[in-house]
Structure 1
Amino acid sequence: MSAMEDHLHEAMALPGARNAAVVECATGFVLAAVGATPRGSADETAVETAELARMAIEHAAFAGGDDPGGSAHRPGDSGVEDVIVTTRTAYHVLRFVDAAFDGGVFVHLRLDRSTGNLALARIRMRSVAERLVGA
């Protein structure tokens, strides 16, 4: 098991956690994954979530207040820390990893909405992302 997978298993210990993955933003390439995806493969899900991650970090509407031009193309440069998507059955938390990977990296955690704790997930995902920098 890789160090990345170890960190993902920490995220999977959260109540309601269903799957987690470390994904490269630019390509949607899965660096590590644990758990079962609801539809399709982890690779297909990663490509789709990478599109959402890129939208959040590339568009001026989501840029931090220090970047009036909104020209950031890496998560650490944009001011965006995470993206949360709520569906009828799940919470999806995309937490950006502040690391020197080309194109950026994020962690995607899917929580069951009825048993997951979104606030706790955000706290745990911040910790996981910080440890991934050294992995």
Structure 2
Amino acid sequence: MTETSTPVKEQRVTKQRLAVSAALDELDDFVSTQELHRILQDRGISVSLATSYRILQSMAEDGAVDVLRNPEGEAVYRRCAVAEHHHHLLCRNCGKAVEIEAPVVEKWAVKMAQENGYTEINHTVEIIGLCPECTLLRQAGQL
């Protein structure tokens, strides 16, 4: 038994989708839907907040963006740097994210699914802590 994902459905290419995609290509960090909407508005690109949300959701479903929850529980998005399935280390202070591969987690997820009769599984792992820079700030009493 192997992990499977939902087949990618073909998305209609619209000016709004292209604008969202281009903006994400220029950003290095995770961004909320509201932040991305503001960036697009500042650039004079007319995309509603609801459309921005739908585009980001479909891009996440297609694996074109990573989606995490920030400490406030809000979904944040970033263009995937790694094409294959991966997980994240996330700094709870500055929001820095590192993409990691975790073959042991993959095997564990498949084993747990098999033991419980689940098929067509998918999973997400986020490890939240302090990055090295924020750890140094904490140790220096600056955080």
Q: What TM-score do the two structures reach when normalised by structure 2?
A: 0.27
Q: Which of the two has higher C-alpha Rg?
A: 2
Using the size of structure 1 for normalisation, the TM-score is 0.28
The structure with higher relative contact order (CA 8 Å, sep 6+) is 1
